Amino acid sequence: MPTKHILSTDQLSEEEIFDLFVQTDRIRLPGNRYTSLDGKLVGLLFFEPSTRTMSSFMAAVKRLGGDTIGWSSPNTTSMEKGESLEDTIKTMSQYVDAIVIRHKEKGAAKRAAAVSDVPVINAGDGDGEHPTQALLDLYTIADERNTDKNRHVIFRTGKPLTNKDIDGLTIFFFGDNRYARAVHSLKKLLGLFDVNILEENLYFDPETFSGDASAEVQKQKQSWDKENYIINLGQADVVYITRLQKERWPGGWFDTGSPASRWYAKYQHINKEIHFGTGDLKWMQKSAIILHPLPRTDEMKPAVDSDKRCKIWQQAKNGMFLRMALLKSLFS
Ligand code: NCD
């Protein structure tokens, strides 16, 4: 049987997505105990920082009766001595039953899958993809839109999520849509449905950068089309916010003293104006929701969290349930 890797949202069909959502719905029901990963060991190989993805994968494996080994910093591995990513992965695949990998390089998960003897799940590869984040985002979107109140009762009588819970929606991406891998993967998934995508991009653009950080930031401030932003907020069923992904900017961009780092230092001042805050809530529809893959910096103010349309914590929680469903299906 070929090893099943989860590397990109490209590889998922509508049917597979909704099967996974049915499992996620079931797993969310309180009181159930799972043993599907009994005796299984999952390698959590994180070469980049993570709070939610790593912890929710760890929680998911343990809640399914399995166990994890791995690391959260590459400094403790033999890669510090010059070992290749390939040899590191090949070695780990002798010890574990599946690998979850996060790496700062785009394509790293694919490289890992090429040498691994066990399934590899991409938990974020540079500015490439983050398929499990996109799945939990889409699940949250569909779940929040679905009005069948019975879906989450203990004796499950409700109907499963379908494309009707997604088709027709308008999703407004506000933030660093260029370098956010979560956005890339979610857009690909949304491509399977009949949705409308709106965008407001915030990022440093080297192609148009004049070298004068202050002037550039001023230019960005002036070109900030607040009116259009408000119109987008009013049309959106989902406002999906991301932070500026400065560590993903190409090599050397963000080194101390670089033009990009000077730009970012200035940018933080205009962030006082260009952000999503409580003042923006009034432009949104009553039924709309706010999502953010987190972590957040200045682009979304914590005061927004108390609005009932803000679903970021439910989104994070759904991440654990969805990853449980994914692991369960991988081992079934
Ligand atoms: C995202 C990531 O790592 O790509 N975070 C996450 O996994 N929840 C988004 C980000 O870092 O901004």
Question: H helices within the chain, ranges in order?
Answer: 14-28, 52-63, 85-92, 108-115, 131-145, 181-190, 213-223, 226-235, 259-270, 312-331
17 alpha carbon to ligand 1 midpoint, in Å? 21
Asked if 81 is an active-site residue, the reply is yes
Q: Cα 80 from chain centroid?
A: 28
Residue 209 near residue 253 (C-beta atoms within 8 A): no
Looking at residue 273, what is its pLDDT?
72
User: Is residue 7's pLDDT more than 50?
Assistant: yes
183 alpha carbon to ligand 1 midpoint, in Å? 10
pLDDT in tens, 151-202: 766 556 678 899 999 999 999 999 999 999 999 999 999 999 999 999 998 8
pLDDT in tens, 12-58: 999 999 999 999 999 998 888 999 999 999 999 999 999 999 999 99
Query: Taking the domain 132-317, which CATH number applies?
Result: 3.40.50.1370
Architecture of the CATH domain 9-127+319-331: 3-Layer(aba) Sandwich (3.40)
Asked if 181 is an active-site residue, the reply is no
Q: Which of 5, 28, 63, 102 is catalytic?
A: 102
Task: Tell me the domain boundaries of the chain.
Answer: 9-127+319-331, 132-317
- The whole-angstrom separation of Cα 147 and Cα 162 is 12
295 alpha carbon to ligand 1 midpoint, in Å? 6
156 alpha carbon to ligand 1 midpoint, in Å? 33
Residues with CB under 6 A from ligand 1: 52-53, 124, 130, 133, 180-182, 242-243, 245, 293-295
Regarding pTM above 0.75, the answer is: yes
Q: What's the rounded mean pLDDT across residues 114-138?
A: 98
Task: For residue 52, give the ligand 1 atom closest to its CA.
Answer: 8
Looking at residue 210, what is its pLDDT?
76
Q: Any idea what the Cα angle at residue 331 is, between residues 326 and 332, rounded to 5°?
A: 95
257 falls in which pLDDT band (50, 70, 90)?
Answer: confident
pLDDT in tens, 286-331: 999 999 999 999 899 999 999 999 999 999 999 999 999 999 999 9
CA distances from 210 to 92, 225, 261, 271, 314 (A): 46, 21, 14, 20, 42
Q: Which of 9, 24, 53, 68 is catalytic?
A: 53
Least confident of 104-113, 132-141, 265-274: 265-274
Asked if 243 is an active-site residue, the reply is no
Task: For residue 319, give the ligand 1 atom closest to its CA.
Answer: 8
Q: Which of 33, 81, 149, 282 is catalytic?
A: 81
Asked if 52 is an active-site residue, the reply is yes
267 falls in which pLDDT band (50, 70, 90)?
Answer: confident
Asked if 248 is an active-site residue, the reply is no
User: Is residue 212's pLDDT more than 90?
Assistant: no
* Secondary structure (H, E, C), 19-82: HHHHHHHHHHCCCCCCCCCCCCEEEEEECCCCCHHHHHHHHHHHHCCCEEEEECCHHHCHHHHC
Query: Are 9-127+319-331 and 132-317 equal in CATH topology?
Result: yes
